[in-house]
Amino acid sequence: MDVISVIRTKRDKGELSPEQIDWVIDAYTRGVVADEQMSALAMAILLNGMNRDEIARWTAAMIASGERMNFDALSRPTADKHSTGGVGDKITLPLAPLVAACGAAVPQLSGRGLGHTGGTLDKLESIPGWRALLSNEEMLHVLDTTGAVICAAGDGLAPADKKLYALRDVTGTVEAIPLIASSIMSKKIAEGTGSLVLDVKVGTGAFMKTIEDARELASTMVALGTDSGVRTVALLTDMSTPLGLTAGNALEVRESVEVLAGGGPRDVVDLTVALAAEMLAAAGIKDADPAKALKDGSAMDVWRRMIAAQGGDPDAALPVAREQHVVTAPSSGVLTRLDAYDIGIAAWRLGAGRARKEDPVQAGAGVELHAKPGDTVTAGQPLLTLHTDTPEKFDYALGSLEGAWDIAPAGTPFTATPIVLDRIA
Q: Is 82 one of the annotated active-site residues of the chain?
A: yes
Catalytic residue, candidates 161, 169, 199, 342: 161
Catalytic residue, candidates 57, 81, 116, 168: 168
Q: Is 161 one of the annotated active-site residues of the chain?
A: yes
Q: Does domain 3-49 have CATH number 1.10.290.10?
A: no
Please, what is the angle between helix 298-309 and helix 136-146, to 10°? 160
Rounded-to-integer distance, Cα 13 and Cα 147, Å? 46
What architecture is domain 80-309? Answer: 3-Layer(aba) Sandwich (3.40)
Q: Is 287 one of the annotated active-site residues of the chain?
A: no
pLDDT digits (tens, 9 = 90+) for 404-417: 999 999 999 999 99
pLDDT digits (tens, 9 = 90+) for 323-350: 999 999 999 999 999 999 999 999 999 9
Q: Which of 39, 50, 42, 38 is nearest to 13 (CA)?
A: 50
Asked if 122 contacts 79 with a C-beta cutoff of 8 angstroms, the reply is: no
Q: DSSP letters of 78-119?
A: B-EEEE---TT--THHHHHHHHHHTT-BEEEEE---BTTB--
Rounded-to-integer distance, Cα 216 and Cα 20, Å? 25
- How many CB atoms are located within 10 Å of the residue 344 CB? 31
Q: What confidence score (pLDDT) does residue 359 get?
A: 81
Rounded-to-integer distance, Cα 343 and Cα 184, Å? 25
Label residue 332 exposed, middle or buried (CB < 10 Å: 0-12, 13-18, 19+): middle
**Beta-strand pair 366-369/382-388:** antiparallel
Residue 248 has pLDDT above 80, yes or no: yes
Catalytic residue, candidates 83, 110, 126, 183: 183
Residue 162 has pLDDT above 90, yes or no: no
**Type of residue found at 261:** A
Q: Which residues have C-beta within 8 Å of that of residue 329, sequence separation ≥ 6?
A: 335, 371, 377, 378, 379, 380, 381, 382, 383, 407
The whole-model pTM stands at: 0.90
Q: What confidence score (pLDDT) does residue 154 get?
A: 79
Q: Which of 62-76, 87-101, 338-352 has the lowest mean pLDDT?
A: 62-76
pLDDT digits (tens, 9 = 90+) for 131-151: 999 998 999 999 999 999 999
Q: Is 168 one of the annotated active-site residues of the chain?
A: yes
Catalytic residue, candidates 90, 123, 163, 187: 187
Q: What confidence score (pLDDT) does residue 117 get?
A: 83
Q: Which residues have C-beta within 8 Å of that of residue 7, sequence separation ≥ 6?
A: 37, 40, 41, 44
Asked if 345 contacts 305 with a C-beta cutoff of 8 angstroms, the reply is: no
Rounded-to-integer distance, Cα 35 and Cα 28, Å? 8
**Cα-based distances in Å from 1 to 6, 32, 66:** 8, 12, 22
DSSP-derived 3-state class of residue 256: helix
Residue 48 has pLDDT above 70, yes or no: yes
Domain ranges across the chain: 3-49, 80-309, 323-408
Mention the CATH class of domain 323-408. Answer: alpha beta
